[in-house]
Amino acid sequence: MQYESTTTLSYAQPQLYIAGRWLEAQDRRTEDVLNPATGQVLAQLPHATRADLDAALQAAQQAFAGWRAAAPLERSRILRAAATLVRERADTIALSMTLEQGKPLREARLEVLASADTFDWYAEEGRRNYGRVVPGRTLTQRITVLHEPVGVCAAFTPWNFPAVTPARKIAGALAAGCTLILKLAEETPASGLALVRALHDAGLPPGVLNAVFGVPGEVSSYLLDSPVVAKFSFTGSTAVGKLLAQQAAKGLKRATMELGGHAPAIICADADVNQAADMLVAGKFRNAGQICIAPTRFYVHAQVYDAFVQAFVERTRKLQPGNGLKESSHLGPLANPRRQQAMRSLIDDAVQHGARVECGGQALEGPGFFWQPTVLTDVPEHARLMNEEPFGPLALINRVDSVEEAIERSNRLPYGLASYAFTQHSPTRMQLTRGLQTGMLGINSLNVSMSEAPFGGVKESGWGSECGIEGLQAYCDIKLISED
Ligand code: NAD
């Protein structure tokens, strides 16, 4: 088959990027990068040594003075030029992404374009990093508020969105005038490195951005222990976020964290059931469900419950998991065999507690880490699945008798990242808007992720936001000047 012959040929050997130089493995420790659709080894990833991490810290520290002093227009020019290069290279980057992450090529391409869009947005927002003038208490007093870059930052990004998540952290930091050491996910190095390369080719000064790999916990501990690092940004699980917050507390480092979610989707009695099913099936199974904002706990009003379950299951059954390089594949594999084991154990536990499997429920035979798109109904709240983020292609549908009940059950978990609701009724919208404990709410829409709007969670789903004006301010300190 043609797609199989495309594999390793198109995958560049990953390198470290420190002080503007690309570093090969040489005698460094390496790990295999796997294609999750085939299990095949794509490349050897070099791990940064202690000396490499020290070099990255030193480079980022040295570059900071020049980069913070650079005119916002100059920083904007480089980000924009990099965005243009990313767009020109979109097909090649998307192919690497599908090989290392598994998502269908069309999804990969959209993600690459979204990364370029993120660079462009921050390029412009960095030019509008306005302070303000506060009226003084006397005629002669002048009070000015300035936004200044926090300094050297560290960022740790996961494998599920291997381009757009690094893009948010890179562009936010650089547009604000910070320098950055980025630890990309070891599973998916090529997509993020392609962004780094675009910035390098666009003329980014050495040391402003550095990219490293290693054992995640070791690299993050080393960087967070360093007095050079003023702030970190992390996207990943709540458990790891809590660990990093503890480590960073020692040096009182600032943090932005986008952590786990378990998004409720509320289908009200007046909802357009077919429209809701179309949108929610697409949203649930995109990226094989490995999305922190994926709709997962479906609370459906009893009046439309049977119709919704039928519509949702019908559409789910038509989805074809497969290698993302094949046009016919609707969803790719899970990231690794651990995720398959997690799906098995969560589904078994739910069934033991009385849940019914409406479709799917099994791994696919053959190579790769695939899981069938799965729908479960009547999943009791005390089953693990209703409490732990599944991070996979599992939809859990339950019946409710009122909007109040749906809100109460939605708010039951410590998570509060995204929530969704389907209703045409204005007072119900208001009730949901006021009642749901969530960082983002989509009403008759699943689109809650745009570069111009804040993306983040409440409760244990994170601290702060990325994107929007908030995403730029997250990399700034506030300085007050009072003059007389
Ligand atoms: P994992 O917790 O081992 O790793 C998740 C991500 O965090 C990986 O990219 C990893 O490199 C990184 N990580 C882990 N420990 C770290 C540390 N001490 N310092 C810095 N980075 C660290 O789990 P996994 O099996 O790879 O992924 C499964 C879980 O991860 C899921 O259940 C999901 O909750 C979470 N996850 C969340 C997101 C998100 O977008 N919020 C993305 C990917 C994974």
Q: Tell me which residue has its CA closest to atom 42 in ligand 1.
A: 236
Catalytic residue among 268, 292, 467, 476: 292
Q: Is the pTM of this model over 0.80?
A: yes
Instruction: Check residue 6 and give left, alpha or beta (phi > 0: left; psi -120 to 50: alpha).
Output: alpha
Residue spans per domain, the chain? 16-259+461-483, 263-451
> Which parts of 182-272 fold into alpha helices (H)?
189-201, 216-225, 238-249
Residue 481 C-alpha to ligand 1 middle, in angstroms? 41
d(CA 267, CA 161): 28
Domain 263-451: which topology?
A: Aldehyde Dehydrogenase; Chain A, domain 2 (3.40.309)
Distances in whole angstroms, Cα of residue 222 to Cα of each of 51, 218, 225, 287, 298: 11, 6, 5, 32, 41
Catalytic annotation, pick one of 125, 258, 460, 466: 258
Q: Which of 237, 286, 389 to mutate to test the pocket of ligand 1 (most atoms within 8 A of CB)?
A: 237
Ligand 1, atom 34, residue with closest C-alpha: 237
159 Cα nearest atom in ligand 1:
9
Helix then strand count (H, E) for the chain reads 15, 20
Contact 59, 19 (CB under 8 A): yes
Residue nearest to atom 41 of ligand 1 (CA): 236
Distances (CA, A) of 180 to 45, 110, 232, 411: 20, 25, 9, 36
Give CATH for domain 16-259+461-483. Answer: 3.40.605.10
Q: How far is the CA of 304 from the centre of ligand 1 (A)?
A: 36
In contact, 113 and 90? CB cutoff 8 Å: yes
Q: What is the rounded (10 degree) CA torsion for 175, 475, 193, 322?
A: -110
What is the reported pLDDT for 109? Answer: 98
**pLDDT by residue, tens only, the chain of 484 residues:** 445 545 556 799 999 999 999 999 999 999 999 999 999 999 999 999 999 999 999 999 999 999 999 999 999 999 999 999 999 999 999 999 999 999 999 999 999 999 999 999 999 999 999 999 999 999 999 999 999 999 999 999 999 999 999 999 999 999 999 999 999 999 999 999 999 999 999 999 999 999 999 999 999 999 999 999 999 999 999 999 999 999 999 999 999 999 999 999 999 999 999 999 999 999 999 999 999 999 999 999 999 999 999 999 999 999 999 999 999 999 999 999 999 999 999 999 999 999 999 999 999 998 999 999 999 999 999 999 999 999 999 999 999 999 999 999 999 999 999 999 999 999 999 999 999 999 999 999 999 999 999 999 999 999 999 999 999 999 999 999 999 9
* Angle (deg, nearest 10), helices 72-88 and 90-101: 70
Side-by-side strand order, sheet with 142-149: 132-135, 142-149, 476-483
For the question of residue 258 being annotated catalytic, the response is yes
Same CATH fold assignment for domains 16-259+461-483 and 263-451: no
Name residues contacting ligand 1 (CB within 6 A).
Answer: 156, 158-160, 185, 216-217, 220, 235-237, 240, 243-244, 258-260, 292, 338, 389, 391
Query: From ligand 1's centre to the CA of 31, what distance in Å?
Result: 17
Consecutive H or E run containing 56: helix 50-69
pLDDT of residue 2: 47
Tell me the ipTM for this assembly.
0.94
CA dihedral (57, 59, 64, 70) positive or negative: negative
Ligand 1 atom at minimum distance from 261 CA: 41
Ligand 1 centroid–CA 292 distance in Å is 11
pLDDT of residue 401: 98
393/369 Cα distance (integer angstroms)? 12
Determine which residue's CA is closest to atom 2 belonging to ligand 1.
Answer: 237
Calculate the dihedral angle through the C-alpha atoms of 286, 292, 295, 296, rounding to the nearest 10 degrees. Answer: 110
Question: Is the CB of residue 376 less than 8 Å from the CB of residue 265?
Answer: no
CB 136 within 8 A of CB 479: no
Q: Whose CA is nearest to atom 36 of ligand 1?
A: 236
Å from CA of 370 to ligand 1 middle: 19
Active site residue 153: no
